[in-house]
Amino acid sequence: MCGIFFSISTNNTPPTEETKSLLEKRGPDCCQTHTVHKEIPAQDAVSQPLSHHLTFISTVLSLRGDHIYEQPLVDPATESVLCWNGEAWKISNERVQGNDTQQVFRLFLNAVDCDRKKALCGFSDAVSSITGPFAFVFYDAVNSRVFFSRDCLGRRSLLQGVDEDGAFKVCSLCDGSPSTVFEEVGTNGVYMVDLGRQPDLLSASCGRYQIETLPWTSESSPPEGHIKSPIPAMNMSTPETQPPPLTVNTKAIEELQSRLQQSLALRIENVPEPPFYVIGQSAKVAVLFSGGLDCTLLARLSHDIIPPDEPIDLLNVAFENPRVAAAAAAAAAAASSAIKDLNSSPSLATAIYEACPDRMTGRSAFAELQKTCPERIWRFVAINIPYAETLAHRDQVKRLMRPHNTEMDLSIAYALYFASRGQGMCYSSSDPKSPEDNYTTSARILLSGLGADELFAGYGRHGVSFNRSGFEGLIAEIHLDVSRLGQRNLGRDDRVLSHWGRETRFPFLDEDFVAWTLRVPVWEKCGFGLAEPDTRSDENDSAVRTGIDAEKMALRLVALRLGLTTVAREKKRAIQFGARTAKMEKGRTKGTDALS
């Protein structure tokens, strides 16, 4: 994980000190600045020379290779520059070994080492060859072009804006005052600023600089100047007859487990030791853990990949919601006059956290992981957040999630922010009777189950669509979800989660995994419209499947294959309700209401 800042203007434009400090939180291992003064000669007798000041800042969280690779990278021969915030798991379908930043830089330099016209095609091909999440700024000094982009699924934060003085900025965070116009960099392609353009040709919408787009396309042979998307068209076929039931032994379920494990392995193998690492005691990987199906499945599969002597931390967050706490205190006070509020009864305070839906499912899933994988040290980190602490961090969370600014944004961001901090009471399977207070996870890699609901029909509205319009309606709803993944809130989540110097990885959003899932027919991903198992021919399988919901049935059956019988039956629950960050204050606020 890294932080990026870039500006281009007629004079040097560094970020605010606050922005630089927040970037260093994202990348605590290194922070460097590089500046370029570029003079563009006049193109004809009536034109004026152009003078540009380019500022590049990168902060680094070192997670690849055997040492810290400082950024920005600068090529001494051409003076080209790269700021890279990403994980190139593969290049041209070959797994990247060691540090990916230097390999990406060489890839880009080779792509533009030709005439200007061919350089655009070469750069498009270079970007399309990368598998993994990314955001970057690349300055092609030879051709006087600046490229910047996020991957087509938007898994890394990158914002763009124009400040009050007309400087154009690209940054992992919003820079400047709230009045500065910043927006998420789109996920429609790679964006380019050609520094050689004359002022009378430039677009006023981006200050002095016109932005051109090299768009993503799903076509197998992209037109010139387009970038081949790794996400194929979805399989829109509907069954001619009622599909057979899914079982734990269905070939598609076996392959799903294998594909998900491959995606996960890319993200958790060969993780470098975090600072102050102690063998057998420190965790390299932690899971954002609600106890639900998706995150528990990732935890269970991680057990088969991570060396057995490494603990795995399960980060489970619960909040003191004043409305819920007041009701609980009133009920307790009715039984005991000594209890006036939450602060006067530590046992009541504990009960409030333990009654959070995600805490209850988290405890249950923790027990099931211990049962299925007893040789692993599992550590359940109970992160309890008092309301006073929530308020103390409110401005910081709002600052990080900008330009998002609704009540729902804030309630989700709270949960992610404190979960990523990773501080709480630690219950270890190696010593269950002696929990450790004030524990902070050492893991720099966090795993998230995000993406599973969109790909495998995990939302209630998927069932509604099937009931209304059959397979056609269900397919249309899934297609809508997948098509807008890049426009969802992954940028917001990245800004909040990365604040504590940790990187979140999304195995369900691996390009190869997404592509495979989209090619699979819908009736092999969820249980809507399937025939019931024949109890006469497979009595045991029918019994095992009892209580398995149609939503995400394929993933539920993988969980059953792995021994997670309780987790396989867990219902979908939004994070803000599971952790109780929604509707903390009294009133009629809606999730879509703007914050003051």
Q: Which residues are catalytic?
A: 2
Between CA 402 and CA 397 the distance in angstroms is 9
Single out the residue of 145, 160, 148, 149 nearest to residue 195, CA to CA.
Answer: 145
Hey, what are 139's tokens?
Answer: 């300055």
Q: Which helix (H) or strand (E) holds 168?
A: strand 168-171
3-state secondary structure 51-85: EEEEEEEEEECCCCCCCCCCCCEECCCCCCEEEEE
Single out the residue of 454, 461, 458 nearest to residue 479, CA to CA.
Answer: 454
Q: What is the DSSP letter of 49?
A: -
Residues 6+ apart with CB under 8 A from 229: 128, 152, 216, 217, 218
Residue 392: other Cβ atoms inside 10 A: 10
Three-class secondary structure of residue 514 per DSSP: helix
Between CA 174 and CA 191 the distance in angstroms is 18
Place of tokens 């049962």: 371
* H helix count then E strand count, the chain: 18, 23
Query: DSSP states of 247-281 as a string?
Result: -TT-HHHHHHHHHHHHHHHHHHTTPPPPTT--TTT
Q: What is the DSSP letter of 136?
A: E
Between CA 170 and CA 278 the distance in angstroms is 38
Between CA 396 and CA 410 the distance in angstroms is 11
Hey, what are 182's tokens?
Answer: 């910043």
Q: What is the DSSP letter of 15?
A: P
Antiparallel, parallel or unpaired: β 445-447 and 285-288? parallel
58 phi and psi angles, rounded to 5 deg: -130, 135
Strand partners, 4: 58
Hey, what are 333's tokens?
Answer: 């006070």
Place of tokens 């690779």: 69
Could you tell me if 279 and 304 are in contact, meaning their C-beta atoms sit under 8 angstroms apart? no
Hey, what are 248's tokens?
Answer: 């734990």
Query: DSSP states of 291-335 as a string?
Result: SSHHHHHHHHHHHTTS-TTS-EEEEEEEE--HHHHHHHHHHHHHH
Between CA 425 and CA 362 the distance in angstroms is 14
Could you tell me if 452 and 294 are in contact, meaning their C-beta atoms sit under 8 angstroms apart? yes
From the number of C-beta atoms within 10 Å of its C-beta (0-12, 13-18, 19+), residue 116 rates as: middle
Antiparallel, parallel or unpaired: β 378-385 and 423-428? antiparallel
One-letter amino acid for residue 412 of the chain: I
Antiparallel, parallel or unpaired: β 90-91 and 130-131? antiparallel
Place of tokens 């787009």: 213
Could you tell me if 17 and 100 are in contact, meaning their C-beta atoms sit under 8 angstroms apart? no
